[in-house]
Structure 1
């Protein structure tokens, strides 16, 4: 058997012969026909993929997995008898709880329907690689050195496709393929799909399906017999897609190392965690990673208790016992918040209470456009933006009163919504929040497009983000020149909410690296005025790079799961348990100047 090798600028795929064990049959029982290479593996950037059918003994495979580098996820695939391999290193390895699905490329038929609003192409630039990593991070996947992508762009064993928005040029999704015949002389002439990931905030449907089909057609054209993939056993949405495309289950298994990245897969299901939303889950996961004891008090409500070194702190998501009842009460009353931060030098919009129609009419005449919101409330409920007439104002006030009897009216500052996460009076993350938007395909009504985007947003956020089908959505649609049952032309974008709250379908985009220092100063000043250790400060801005802003509100329980790649959960746990940080990290942090 030949030992094939292929190196591409120090990266790329490589076949590795660790040791030869003669002509014994493969340990996993792969049939009578022996593979044409021994101990085959390929570096995929996120880790190595070991082809189990090419290993004659467990020793070389175990040695290969033991060489797994930091922040990598090696996978031993096609392990038909995993109990044999696991028996040699039960403390180091585990059986991946995923199913293997196969698409028979000899019978696969491409879809006649072409993607609308986006297209699929090869990865072709370093910026593509950066965007792929952004999507990986949003999906909590292992990132890849952009140089690896770029160095392997012409690799015949690895294939990278991306989906690109036709209008904006944004990268919406990605998929990686491995041609087995290029890695080793595979007698079955197979291929496999890896790292399918779609931006959770994409406005287009069927991006994942288009990427899978493009890769299948790519390998079909190259004469491959099948395309396999591995999918978590409980990923019902993905399994449903693969079923529709004609994939079927095959009895192959994967084995991985017990490392930090894989911890959730081998520690067993924390049944009490199942009801936690992403905002509580991200903190619980970080705490467990540090060895902090976690007790789930009420999963549905997001309540848990963290215990470390004799200290115990109860939390509800990012709201902990460190936030005083006074600070929480201030955040709950938007008028009080506004007065306190204004006295601290933070710019605030002009405001009145909506209890006199004459005063309200004068306020509209003076400012032209206003914001109506309940004096108390959260998650954007009852807020109406861009009100310009008394008729609209009356409707908006009535809606706001469903949340709180006292309703506030503010002058409208045209611009973008900026959320700044301030923990321990230091900026941790800044993100522009954008209102829910749909993109037309020339055949679907506005109503159905909204419903479709809302379903995708809900799936991507575990039900936290949905576009309400209410009067505010209808008003935004009419303001854009359409009715709910109109057909939106192909490629045309329509904003369907005036507020950018995540819970009403908004999207969030990290700008921490470019935010203007004046905006950071305003956020920290507001947090100090309220005297709150963890808060989300909302500003309306012209541009995150510019100093212009007005203060909107402070949130005492900001969602930390919305701010990848910033370490929001890490800084939250640092605040609660500073001794849980490694000593070197504590020293480095003391030396770093605050980001303010």
Structure 2
């Protein structure tokens, strides 16, 4: 019976099953598990060590390393890293390359200035005005501008992200002034933006260079009734599924005050039992960080919306990559009047497009490397999608502050054609001397692999060429007592380097 490889080398079965049939598309779209719809080169087992905030940096760096480029990490959170082909060197801050200029970032962070640039480029944007809360006549100016703009309106900070302190669909003067006074007294925003409200669904479009890479629809946090479970139980079940998504795992639905208030508006509480198939919205904002869903729409959004997203990025001088936030109403016509570009983000979360709650995940790292290193291409060799970086080993010097940077060893050109595992006959932990001799054998043979034990059984995984694997076996067999008859082909993740667990 084939042994179960250690957790970092093989996906746990819980990543491939549905925990809540009513609240997860994991039962399949067209008969496929959701994980099968995510990018083939960045499946769960390959990115497991980078679940959460490290995901963007890891997937971009991994794609570069697989292409034979040099990768250097500057922090253990994988926020700062560098990629070079020997001629061109690009430093990244997560998904943002240094090719994006400081001036572009300055423009992008100022929502009103962004709208000005986009409007001049002919990109549809809502009309907007700046409000200075420190001005004595601020409320009077607010009333005057609303009289000109007409309700409903939006009020939000001039700078900000992730939907924080953004209030939409304000329909009365009472709502507007109450919101304005709340923002004035409870936020650090020196200036606010008053904006005409546009009704439409919330889309995030990823643009790299002049290439539209992905588009997804963002939905506010929600659950769907099954006729037997309470809303609280549905939330817990959905969160259990979200924990298995590399991107959504750190973004649960939290039943806070807003959720309670939103339920009350629908005559629900957490103990209510919605009928089967009835959707229950839990928040007003479509933010994944607050439990929202993402649904891939890359193939479905109209050409006019795609074109506007690309033109929006081109309108900001020095902007190399961006997430473009768009409100789009498919019911409106003509299509040119069915959407508005709301904001840009120069450091987009590419993971939202890679690991959607529903639909096909888009291979953003491949597009990013194609655009920024056009002379390189992803290898078509079999098994490339299983190559990964051993983050625990690589980042230990950065995590322990014993190094300022880590240069990843270049991937061998042979791509590890021989991948095998064996049982070994060791009945007790390796002595320090034997460990050193095995590590020396791995270096001399130029192989990668891993030795570990489970219960009373010990295992060895080896990766390299046929002659190098056999050389290691000749050098190390006397220390490991391998059962050569147990040799089988390894189908799990392949990491560079050699390690002995336990």
TM-score range, shorter chain: 0.5 to 0.7
Q: Do structure 1's residue 420 and structure 2's residue 210 form an aligned pair?
A: no
Q: Pairwise mapping of residues 329-344 of structure 1 onto structure 2 (< 5 A)?
A: 329-344=106-121
Residue 371 of structure 1 contacts residue 411 of structure 1 at CA under 8 Å; is this kept in 2? yes
Q: Do structure 1's residue 554 and structure 2's residue 318 form an aligned pair?
A: no
Q: Pairwise mapping of residues 247-262 of structure 1 onto structure 2 (< 5 A)?
A: none
* TM-score, structure 1 normalization: 0.52
- Of residues 77, 83, 92, the one that matches 1:300 is 77
Q: Shift in Å at residue 315 of structure 1? A: 0.7
Residue 370 of structure 1 contacts residue 388 of structure 1 at CA under 8 Å; is this kept in 2? yes
Q: What is the match of residue 136 of structure 1?
A: 36
Residue 511 of structure 1 contacts residue 544 of structure 1 at CA under 8 Å; is this kept in 2? no
Q: What is the match of residue 589 of structure 1?
A: none
For residues 57 and 4 of structure 2, the distance between their equivalents in structure 1, rounded to whole angstroms, comes to 38
Q: Pairwise mapping of residues 100-499 of structure 1 onto structure 2 (< 5 A)?
A: 117=22, 128-129=30-31, 132=32, 135-138=35-38, 140=40, 264=46, 277-300=54-77, 302-354=79-131, 355=133, 356-361=138-143, 367-394=150-177, 396-397=179-180, 398-399=182-183, 402=187, 404-441=189-226, 446=231, 449-450=234-235, 453-454=238-239, 456-460=241-245, 461=247, 463-467=249-253, 469-470=255-256, 472-483=258-269, 486-499=272-285
- Of residues 328, 334, 342, the one that matches 1:541 is 328
Partner SS state of residue 574, structure 1? helix
Q: Shift in Å at residue 293 of structure 1? A: 2.1
For residues 583 and 141 of structure 1, the distance between their equivalents in structure 2, rounded to whole angstroms, comes to 11
Q: Do structure 1's residue 517 and structure 2's residue 307 form an aligned pair?
A: no
For residues 386 and 577 of structure 1, the distance between their equivalents in structure 2, rounded to whole angstroms, comes to 43
For residues 371 and 455 of structure 1, the distance between their equivalents in structure 2, rounded to whole angstroms, comes to 34
For residues 236 and 4 of structure 2, the distance between their equivalents in structure 1, rounded to whole angstroms, comes to 45
Q: Shift in Å at residue 487 of structure 1? A: 4.9
Q: What is the match of residue 158 of structure 1?
A: none
For residues 12 and 346 of structure 2, the distance between their equivalents in structure 1, rounded to whole angstroms, comes to 44
Q: Shift in Å at residue 572 of structure 1? A: 1.0
For residues 52 and 22 of structure 2, the distance between their equivalents in structure 1, rounded to whole angstroms, comes to 36
For residues 301 and 392 of structure 1, the distance between their equivalents in structure 2, rounded to whole angstroms, comes to 43
For residues 315 and 455 of structure 1, the distance between their equivalents in structure 2, rounded to whole angstroms, comes to 32
Q: Shift in Å at residue 574 of structure 1? A: 2.1
Q: What is the match of residue 152 of structure 1?
A: none
Question: Compared with structure 1, are the counterparts of its residues 410 and 484 closer, same or farther at alpha carbon in structure 2 (3 Å cutoff)?
Answer: farther
Q: Shift in Å at residue 352 of structure 1? A: 2.8
* TM-score, structure 2 normalization: 0.60
Residue 440 of structure 1 contacts residue 488 of structure 1 at CA under 8 Å; is this kept in 2? yes
Q: What is the match of residue 368 of structure 2?
A: 572
For residues 116 and 490 of structure 1, the distance between their equivalents in structure 2, rounded to whole angstroms, comes to 11
- Structure 1 residue runs without a partner (length 5+): 1-77, 83-93, 102-113, 144-196, 198-231, 233-263, 585-596
Residue 346 of structure 1 contacts residue 551 of structure 1 at CA under 8 Å; is this kept in 2? yes
Q: Deviations over 1:518-569 (max 9, x none)?
A: 1122112111111211011111001299441111000101111222432311
Question: Compared with structure 1, are the counterparts of its residues 419 and 495 closer, same or farther at alpha carbon in structure 2 (3 Å cutoff)?
Answer: same
**Alignment: residue pair count:** 356
For residues 262 and 349 of structure 2, the distance between their equivalents in structure 1, rounded to whole angstroms, comes to 26
Residue 67 of structure 2 contacts residue 379 of structure 2 at CA under 8 Å; is this kept in 1? no
- Structure 2 residue runs without a partner (length 5+): 14-18, 355-360, 381-502
Q: Shift in Å at residue 508 of structure 1? A: 1.6
Partner SS state of residue 74, structure 2? strand
Q: Pairwise mapping of residues 576-587 of structure 1 onto structure 2 (< 5 A)?
A: 576-581=372-377
Partner SS state of residue 284, structure 2? coil
Partner SS state of residue 30, structure 2? helix
Q: Shift in Å at residue 374 of structure 1? A: 1.6
Residue 97 of structure 2 contacts residue 320 of structure 2 at CA under 8 Å; is this kept in 1? no
Residue 59 of structure 2 contacts residue 365 of structure 2 at CA under 8 Å; is this kept in 1? yes
Point out which structure has higher relative CO (alpha carbons under 8 A, 6+ apart): 2
Q: Deviations over 1:235-277 (max 9, x none)?
A: xxxxxxxxxxxxxxxxxxxxxxxxxxxxx59xxx9x8x68852
For residues 283 and 191 of structure 2, the distance between their equivalents in structure 1, rounded to whole angstroms, comes to 23
Question: Compared with structure 1, are the counterparts of its residues 380 and 448 closer, same or farther at alpha carbon in structure 2 (3 Å cutoff)?
Answer: farther
Q: Shift in Å at residue 570 of structure 1? A: 1.0
Q: Shift in Å at residue 500 of structure 1? A: 1.5
Query: Which aligned runs of 4 or more in structure 1 are off by greater than 6 angstroms?
Result: 118-123
Question: Compared with structure 1, are the counterparts of its residues 469 and 331 closer, same or farther at alpha carbon in structure 2 (3 Å cutoff)?
Answer: farther
